[in-house]
Each structure stands twice: as C-alpha cells, then as structure tokens.
Amino acid sequence: MEHGIYDLLILGGGCAGLTAGIYAGRAKLKAAVVEKQGAGGQAAITDEIANYPGFRKISGTELAERMLEQASSFGTEFLQQDVVNLKLTQEIKEVETSSGVLKSRAVILATGAEPKKLGFQGEEEFRGRGIGYCATCDGFFFEGKDIFVIGGGYSAAEEALYLTRFGKKVTVVVRKGAFKCAKSISDKVLSHPKIEVMFHTEITEAYGDTVLRGAVFKNNQTGETFEYKVSEEDETFGIFVFIGYQPSTELYRGQVTLDEAGHVITNERMETNLSGVYAAGDLRPKLLRQLVTATADGAIAATQVEKYITEYKEKHGIREEKNLNVSEQTEADSVDGPAIISQDLRSQVQTVFDKLERETYLAVILDDSRKSEELKKFCEEVCSICKRIHMVIRRKGEDKELEAEVNAENYPMIALLKETKEYSGVKFSGIPAGHEFNSFVLAVYNLSGPGQGVEESVQNRVMAVKRRVKLQIAISLSCHFCPETVIAAQHLAILNPQIEAEMIDISMFPQLKKTYSLMSVPALIINEKQTVFGALSMEQILEQIEKVGQL
C-alpha cells in the first residue's frame, strides 16, 4: 500500500479549483488544493458578483470563503504553497512546491489566468504609483481623485462602476466603438453620472515623477491626441488596466498540450493529453469565461478524476481509505459572544495549531483606539484555539523595554515572541484579518511548529544576510495578492534574526502612503529606502535585498 500519496492534487485555488475540491471531498478522495495566494482567484478580488446562480448579490471574497469552507468540510486540504516544478508524464505525479514535493495519482490544473499588460509608455514605471490592475485592492488610494479605466469588456465595465465609490470622476477608455459585455452592464456605465466613456480611444503614455501626473490618449479614428494633466489640488490620479487575461500555464509547457495562446487543450471531460491530468477554468480555451463556467469545469474534472482513481485503485489493488471531514477530525472550543473567528475557520486553524511543537507568545501592545479592542478580542480567540499560544498584553507606554525590543512604531500591534520570549522578528501592525489571517496562522506555524519546508539553497541565501534588514509590507485586508509577500517576508525573519518583517494595514496607517508614494498593494519597503510592488516569493525578496547591498 502506498503512503504519503494524494489521490488528487488541484493546482489553483480559484473557483474552478475550489469546486473540484468540493466534489473530490464528497467523493472521499484524499485531495488537496495547492495555491500560492488566498482562495478565490479572480473572484476574490471582485467587489460584487451579481450573475452567479443562487446569489442576487455577493462579494467575491465572501463567495470564495464559502467555497473554501465547503471544500474543507468535506476533508479537502488547502495548502498555501508556491508550485515551482512539475512531473506530470509519469504514473505518480510529482508537484514540487516551495515547501517540498507532493505526490498524487491525479492532478487538476486550475491556475486560471492573470491580467494582461497593455505595454504603453510608463506602464511598468508607474505600476503601484498610480497604475493598477485590481480595483478592489487599490481603489481606496484614489479617494476624491480622477480615475481612468482602460478596457471595454465585462471587467472594465464592472470595475468602473465600483471605482465610482472612490473617484470624483471615472473615465472609461474603450479602444472600439462599443462595450464588449452584457448590455445591462454597459447601460449602467453609460448612464452613471460620475462616468464618462471615450470610445475609439487608446492610452499612449503615462508620465510623472514619484507618482502619476499626466497621461496622453489618442483617438484611433481621427488621430487626434488628448493630454490629461492632474490638477495641483489633486496631485495625482489613477489608471486601472482591464484588457483581459492571459493563461497561467507556462509551468506546464512541454508536458501538456497548449494552443497558440497558451491555453491547456482538453476534451469535454476536462482530460488533457496526459493520463491522470485534467484542466479546469480560465486556462482552457472557451467561449465564456465566467464563474459559472469555471465551477462547471471544476465539477466535471473532479467527477472524471473519481472514475479514474477508482479504476486506478482496482488495477493496483489499493484498499479504499476513509477521508475524514474536518468536523470529524477536530472539535473547536466554543467562544462566548459574537466571534471574530468563525467556527468553521476555528476548525481549520486547529488542525494547523495542533502541530505546534513549542510555546508561542503574542506580545500585544494597545492604544486607546477602537481597533485595539478588536485586536485584543482577536488574540483572545486565537489563544483559545491552542494551549501553546499565550498572550502578553500591554498598553502603549506601559512597558518601554518590550516596545524597544519589538521596535514598536505603529499601534495597535502584535509581535510574535519565541518560546524563550525573545522577539522573533515578526509583527503585525493592525489586525491580521481578512486575507491576512492565513499569514498570521502560517507565521505561528513557521515559528513554533514543524514549519513550511525551505530548499537548502534558499536557506543558505537567507542565512548569508549578515546585516540588519527591515522589511515593511503595506497591505490591504481585501487584497488577494498581499499574503504571499507577507508570508514570504515573515518566513525570512523567522529563519534569520537579522531580518525583521512587519505587516502594516495601510487603511489604519495612511501616513505610509504619503511617505512612500504608495498607490498599490502589496508594497514591500526595504530598509525604508526601496519600494517594490506586487506579490513576491522568498527568492524574489532575497533578490531585492541583494540589490540594496545588504549581503
């Protein structure tokens, strides 16, 4: 009998992958979803979903959370790991991640797609300093300012409507003469009092200094150009690019068959050219890319995997093993009053915290704000889940020695202390809720549990850092991309005492936006000198540390 082998690994935690996880769990398969960011994929960064059956309106984050909870309730694991290499052609598939090698009898590829870049002058230079690709993550940076949305499809129309909550005016720049989306959506855009639409128009340049100051547009019928210059009062403005997505399939090239655009080719049963390898969601060539088609793909792929696994086990004489669901594995402690951490989430977290090998102390330093009371309750609920986690609570100014040890600057905050009560180098300024709750759980696990595995070559690079490095990660709790950078930076801090990593909720500490000209999250600030935008792995953060000459 084989040990340590999954029946199914689902690569990608978007709606296609999570649906596959639900169906696999119900089929009693030993399955896991492997995702480098939070659950939900593109849906998780969508403010409002109004076309998914059964929900008149629901936020993308809430829908993703419900799908994850449902998959977990059937026993499917969720592994937040970055896939770095694959071996799919052999009978037992191997998935190499940032934490080691996973093996399975079948794989579903569900890594979806990522936003396309347009390539106009200044696009890369001002990414994160006025140019963005996620309205939910970055829209609040442009409160009361002008915003331009580039694109004429469904995403552009939906995000333009969402951005009217923040911008004083939203201008939609459409290359063609009409929107390419449902008329019900385009009519809302065209009739909205805060939106202006410029058809037959393209952006050719964006310019500025530390932030955006202007942009040039061209009418592609008349050839006339129009230049927008920000007012002295506004100082800057925003440009959001929504021109479609490109499939995230480069890692599969040379193993599964791709079309010219890089999509994974499958049949109607979601089978690829390789036995035991399936694909689902937006990485497939398809007529319609919507949540409903992604979930349909995931359901079909998982049911086909069930048949494949049944035949595989019969052929190899493998006895069926019971796949306990989460509610059977653990029993969460009850919490009096309205809980910050839901019961379902407690059950999931307890399976992680049960693996802790050492004591952990949460040094909580509070001020007089309402957020301090929320943070205190949050930490009390965390401690109630695991007896190895303890809380040391202080008021600002009450324990100068502790504040100096943890380099306290922003309040309220949590600093993780080792079993010896020494500072670990990891702290959270604000409440690590929303997508950052996972970052918090993994920080505790990496500090006091077996921890996530790290390749020896990466460990050697981490330990080669000999000078002090201060990493600050500006995040938004609604940002789907932020946790990857936070987790990676904090893991570096846990491995090397010379490194400190601080998660900072930008909504609670807005002065950081002005100091570093931040217009996008995640933003990694190294030694208060260099700022890098976008989701980063451990290796990528190490590269940035090397660039500022810290080795």
Enzyme catalytic residues: 134, 137-138
485 closest CA partner among 414, 432, 422, 436: 436
Give the number of residues written for the chain. 551
Q: At what angle do helices 343-353 and 437-448 cross, to 10 degrees?
A: 20
Tell me the two tokens of residue 491. Answer: 């893991």
500 closest CA partner among 433, 381, 413: 413
Residues 273 and 247: their CA atoms lie apart, in Å, by 18
SS3 assignment, position 397: coil
Q: CA 253 → CA 100, 247, 526, distances in Å?
A: 21, 12, 35
Residues 202 and 173: their CA atoms lie apart, in Å, by 7
Tell me the two tokens of residue 36. Answer: 């480098």
Q: How many CB atoms lie within 10 A of CB 548?
A: 12
Tell me the two tokens of residue 70. Answer: 């449902």
CA contacts within 13 A on the Cβ side of 289: 21
Residues 213 and 230: their CA atoms lie apart, in Å, by 5
Residues 250 and 258: their CA atoms lie apart, in Å, by 10
